[in-house]
Amino acid sequence: MTQSNVMDLDKRRSAATSDEEARNPGMALALDWIDEIRVNRSAAERRVTTLAGRRTVKKQWQAAWLLKAVSCMDLTTLAGDDTEGRVRRLCAKALQPVRPDLLEALGADKLNLTVGAVCVYHAFIKTAGDALEGSAVPVAAVSTGFPAGQSPFETKLKEIELSIADGAGEIDIVVSRRHVLTADWRALYDEVKAFRQACGPAHLKVIIATGELGSIGKVAKASMVSMMAGADFVKTSTGMESVNATLPVSLVMMRAIRDYHERAGHKVGFKPAGGISNAKTALQYLILLKEELGDDWLTPKLFRFGASRLLGDIERQLEHFATGRYSAANRHPMG
Helix (H, G, I), strand (E, B) or coil at 296: helix
Determine whether 218 is an active site residue.
Answer: no
Which residues have CB under 8 Å from 36's CB, separation 6+?
A: none
Q: H-type helices in the chain, by residue range? A: 3-6, 19-22, 31-36, 41-49, 51-54, 59-71, 84-95, 100-105, 125-131, 153-165, 177-181, 185-199, 216-228, 247-264, 279-293, 310-323
Of 68, 156, 205, 271, which one is the catalytic site residue? 271
Determine whether 58 is an active site residue.
Answer: no
Determine whether 193 is an active site residue.
Answer: no
Partners of 172 in the β-ladder: 142, 205
- Environment class of 266 (CB within 10 Å of its CB; exposed 0-12, middle 13-18, buried 19+): middle
CA distance 246 to 8: 28
Q: Pick the closest to residue 335 from 304, 307, 305, 308 (CA basis).
A: 308
Helix (H, G, I), strand (E, B) or coil at 305: strand
Q: Pick the closest to residue 2 from 74, 105, 80, 141 (CA basis).
A: 105
Of 68, 74, 156, 172, which one is the catalytic site residue? 172
CA distance 270 to 191: 20
With beta carbons less than 8 A apart as the criterion, state whether 232 and 269 touch: yes
Of 235, 267, 301, 313, which one is the catalytic site residue? 235
Query: Catalytic site residues?
Result: 172, 235, 271
